[in-house]
């Protein structure tokens, strides 16, 4: 792999993604990793990330200096560039001048292997206070800016490279080219990592792990569990059985998409548990958001457990054992829970988990090394239906936390209609890629006066909550075109009986969470 050394903040994940976009597999490691540990991973190259610190701050993150002596090609970015400069005997100065945002960089000489095929002047994205004032002995300076004499350096002989700017952000015009030059040219790595090779590798690994035991998987209708199950099915066929719990809090058409389209595309064995009435009963009279979440989580686990237990017994009857449970864990979860500072969890998110003690499963996690966009690419490669592969995030508790007030079947139906209109219009306007997700919320306990036809109405408002985000940790409200908003508003108030007003949520996160409950 290519190791991306994380010096803090969220820079490393973006770099790791860009490396993979260059068709080279990457893994994130903490900056505390030792040279021996690095050597043990036998990396093809190393990228040092940026970070929020100054190399002169006491306690600022450092790197085992022996890593630069391993003979493995290294490229430092921003803070990583300065760490290299300092360790290799260059000079890092506090210039007192900050460069932040779009900055013009000029290539010096022929640009060396990193910058050779690029225009002499390019826009780069910078964010630094300190600067490299002098390159280490034997290094060529490849670029400079008005404020920074050494904005990039290289030693082809030592295979060590660095840039002051952030090639991983899209605002750096030739950023991806710089990374690719480092990976493909300087480090000589073949660009042969892609969704096809990931599937082949995972299929082999799953076969080895599972043998001829049976496997179960909970499908939620979301992209992660759908792709995870499809890979496992590719590996072990009908040793896999999927369980789909219909808790009645799904959106319009979601159950059909799983039961018909997904099953048709994959040939997966599916057991649907129709638990709609059970959930409605459990939620009856409940309005408090956290209580709703707890009830939905509890009922979900109970339902899944029962289904799993039935499958275990059935397999036993046939002289076989169910030993494995598939989970759609993604790489960001692994990175965030494995290393670094804890991430605050504001709401009690629920996933399939907490199985009873006498049901002991080993986990199969085929997406553990992948980012979301890679999971989608693999889903497409496996031929999954586009509405599932392209699905935007949808919370486990579903529409239950998008009805502000008590959840009833009537209100669910009303919300499903409004939500279907919103999704249809956003897709028709080509806005799906611009939006992270767009919760549609029913204010079931609020009523307002309206006039429709020639009569007075006293109906409920629907809230649109379109947000743009990279990772759902922070978000901004999406500036949807007025004509799209107008069409949505028009259709909802005309077509959804009981709704006479549509309002737009213009709150960023923070302070507002994406979901209303
Ligand atoms: P909030 O509302 O916390 O949402 O800003 C952040 C992201 O998480 C999704 N979300 C959930 N996903 N189970 C999930 O699987 C949950 O209980 C849950 N609650 C919120 C939300 O849709 C958004 O993408």
Gap between the Cα atoms of 12 and 400, Å rounded: 36
Please indicate, yes or no, whether residues 350 and 262 belong to a single structural domain of this protein: yes
Half-sphere exposure of 332 (CA within 13 A, CB side): 17
* DSSP letters spanning 217-239: EEE-SSHHHHHHHHHHHHHHGGG
Please indicate, yes or no, whether residues 329 and 429 belong to a single structural domain of this protein: no
Residue 127 falls inside a structural domain: yes
**What six digits make up the tokens of 177?**
């080219």
Please indicate, yes or no, whether residues 214 and 355 belong to a single structural domain of this protein: yes
Residue 517 falls inside a structural domain: no
Residue 73 falls inside a structural domain: yes
**What six digits make up the tokens of 299?**
């009922």
Q: Which residues pair with 215 in a beta bridge?
A: 240, 324
Gap between the Cα atoms of 376 and 384, Å rounded: 9
| Residue 226 in marked binding region | yes
Maximum separation of any 2 CA atoms in the chain, in Å: 84
How many other C-beta atoms can be found within 10 angstroms of the C-beta atom of residue 142?
26
Mutation pick for ligand 1 pocket among 223, 441, 515, 516 (CB with most ligand atoms within 8 Å): 515
State which ligand 1 atom lies nearest to the alpha carbon of 351: 15
Pocket of ligand 1 (CB under 6 A): 346-347, 349-350, 393, 395-397, 437, 472, 509, 513-515
Into how many domains does the chain fold? 3
468 C-alpha to ligand 1 centroid (Å): 14
515 C-alpha to ligand 1 centroid (Å): 7
| Residue 503 in marked binding region | no
| Residue 220 in marked binding region | yes
Task: Report the first-to-last Cα separation within the chain, whole angstroms.
Answer: 41
Please indicate, yes or no, whether residues 239 and 296 belong to a single structural domain of this protein: yes
**Of the residues 329, 361, 389, which one is the last residue of a structural domain?**
389
Structural domain that includes position 45: 2-186
Please indicate, yes or no, whether residues 34 and 144 belong to a single structural domain of this protein: yes
Residue 396 falls inside a structural domain: no
Residue 509 falls inside a structural domain: no
Beta carbons within 8 Å of 243's beta carbon, 6+ residues apart: 216, 217, 218, 219, 270, 271, 273, 304, 307, 308, 311
Gap between the Cα atoms of 366 and 352, Å rounded: 16
**Of the residues 153, 186, 219, which one is the last residue of a structural domain?**
186
Report the alpha-carbon angle 318-323-328, nearest 5.
Answer: 125
Nearest-CA residue for ligand 1 atom 6 is 472
Please indicate, yes or no, whether residues 216 and 357 belong to a single structural domain of this protein: yes
Active site residues: 78, 166, 168
Please indicate, yes or no, whether residues 382 and 468 belong to a single structural domain of this protein: no
Gap between the Cα atoms of 505 and 517, Å rounded: 14
Residue 158 falls inside a structural domain: yes
440 C-alpha to ligand 1 centroid (Å): 14
486 cis-preceded (ω within 30 degrees of 0) = no
Domain of 111, CATH number, reads: 3.40.50.880
* DSSP letters spanning 259-320: IIIIHHHH--EEEEEE-HHHHHHHHTT---HHHHHHHHHHHHHHHHHHHHHHHHHHHHHTT-
209: enclosing H helix or E strand:
helix 195-210
Please indicate, yes or no, whether residues 418 and 371 belong to a single structural domain of this protein: no
| Residue 430 in marked binding region | no
Please indicate, yes or no, whether residues 174 and 230 belong to a single structural domain of this protein: no
What is the pTM for the complete model shown?
0.89
- What is the chain's pLDDT, residue by residue, as a tens digit (517 residues)? 999 999 986 789 999 999 999 999 999 999 999 999 999 999 999 999 998 888 888 888 999 999 999 999 999 999 999 999 999 999 999 876 788 899 999 999 999 999 999 999 999 999 888 999 999 999 999 999 998 999 999 999 999 999 999 999 989 999 999 999 999 999 999 999 999 999 999 999 999 999 999 999 999 999 999 999 999 999 999 999 999 999 999 999 999 999 999 999 999 999 999 999 999 999 999 999 999 999 999 999 999 999 999 999 999 999 999 999 999 999 988 887 754 333 333 333 334 444 455 557 999 999 999 999 999 999 999 999 999 999 999 999 999 999 999 999 999 999 999 999 999 999 999 999 899 999 999 999 999 999 988 899 999 999 999 999 988 889 999 999 999 999 999 999 999 999 999 999 999 999 999 999 9
Nearest-CA residue for ligand 1 atom 17 is 349
Residue 400 falls inside a structural domain: no
Please indicate, yes or no, whether residues 470 and 338 belong to a single structural domain of this protein: no
Burial (CB < 10 A; 0-12, 13-18, 19+), residue 454, is exposed
Please indicate, yes or no, whether residues 180 and 32 belong to a single structural domain of this protein: yes
Domain of 320, CATH number, reads: 3.40.50.620
Please indicate, yes or no, whether residues 333 and 469 belong to a single structural domain of this protein: no
Which residue in the block uniquely carries the two structure tokens 């803070």?
79
In 136-194, which ranges are continuous DSSP H helix? Answer: 175-180
**Of the residues 131, 159, 186, which one is the last residue of a structural domain?**
186
Residue 333 falls inside a structural domain: yes
Domain of 454, CATH number, reads: 3.30.300.10
């Amino acid at each position: 792999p290519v190791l991306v050394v994380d010096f803090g903040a969220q820079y490393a994940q973006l770099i790791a993604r860009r490396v993979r976009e260059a068709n080279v597999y990457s893994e994130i490691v903490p900056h505390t990793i030792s040279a021996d540990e690095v050597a043990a991973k036998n990396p093809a190259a190393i990228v040092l990330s940026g970070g929020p610190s100054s190399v002169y701050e006491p306690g600022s993150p450092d790197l085992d200096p022996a890593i630069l002596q391993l003979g493995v090609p290294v490229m430092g970015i921003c803070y990583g560039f300065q760490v290299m400069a300092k360790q290799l005997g260059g000079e890092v100065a506090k210039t007192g001048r900050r460069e932040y945002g779009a900055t013009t960089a000029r290539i010096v000489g022929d640009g060396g292997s990193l910058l050779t095929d690029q225009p002499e002047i390019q826009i780069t994205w910078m964010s630094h206070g300190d600067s490299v004032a002098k390159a280490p002995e034997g290094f060529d300076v490849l670029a400079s800016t008005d404020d920074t004499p050494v904005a990039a350096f290289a030693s082809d002989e030592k295979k060590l490279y660095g840039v002051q700017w952030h090639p991983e952000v899209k605002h750096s015009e030739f950023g991806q080219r710089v990374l690719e030059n480092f990976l493909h040219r300087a480090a000589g790595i073949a660009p042969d990592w892609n969704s096809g090779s990931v599937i082949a590798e995972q299929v082999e690994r799953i076969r080895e792990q599972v043998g001829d035991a049976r496997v179960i998987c909970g499908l939620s209708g979301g992209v992660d569990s759908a792709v995870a199950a499809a890979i496992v099915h590719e590996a072990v066929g009908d040793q896999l059985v999927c369980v789909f719990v219909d808790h009645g809090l799904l959106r319009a058409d979601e159950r059909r998409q799983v039961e018909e389209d997904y099953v048709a595309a994959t040939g997966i064995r599916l057991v649907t548990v129709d638990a709609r009435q059970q959930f409605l009963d459990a939620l009856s009279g409940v309005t408090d958001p956290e209580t709703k979440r707890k009830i939905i989580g509890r009922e979900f686990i109970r339902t899944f457990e029962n289904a799993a237990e039935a499958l275990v017994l059935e397999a036993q009857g046939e002289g076989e054992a169910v030993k494995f449970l598939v989970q759609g864990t993604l790489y960001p979860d692994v990175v965030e829970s494995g290393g670094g500072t804890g991430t605050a969890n504001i709401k009690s998110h629920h996933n399939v988990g907490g199985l009873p003690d006498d049901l002991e499963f080993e986990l199969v996690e085929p997406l553990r090394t992948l980012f979301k966009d890679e999971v989608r690419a693999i889903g497409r490669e496996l031929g999954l239906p586009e509405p599932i592969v392209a699905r935007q995030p949808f919370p486990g508790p579903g529409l239950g936390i998008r009805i502000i007030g008590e959840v009833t079947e009537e209100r669910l139906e009303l919300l499903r209609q409004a939500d279907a209109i919103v999704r249809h219009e956003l897709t028709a306007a080509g806005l799906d890629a611009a939006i992270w997700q767009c919760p549609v919320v029913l204010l079931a306990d609020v009523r307002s006066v309206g006039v429709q036809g020639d009569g007075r109405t006293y109906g409920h408002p629907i809230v649109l909550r379109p947000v743009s985000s990279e990772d759902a940790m922070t978000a901004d409200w999406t500036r949807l075109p007025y004509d799209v908003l107008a069409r949505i508003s028009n259709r909802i108030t005309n077509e959804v009986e009981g709704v006479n007003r549509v309002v737009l949520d213009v709150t960023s996160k923070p302070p507002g969470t994406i979901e209303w409950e």
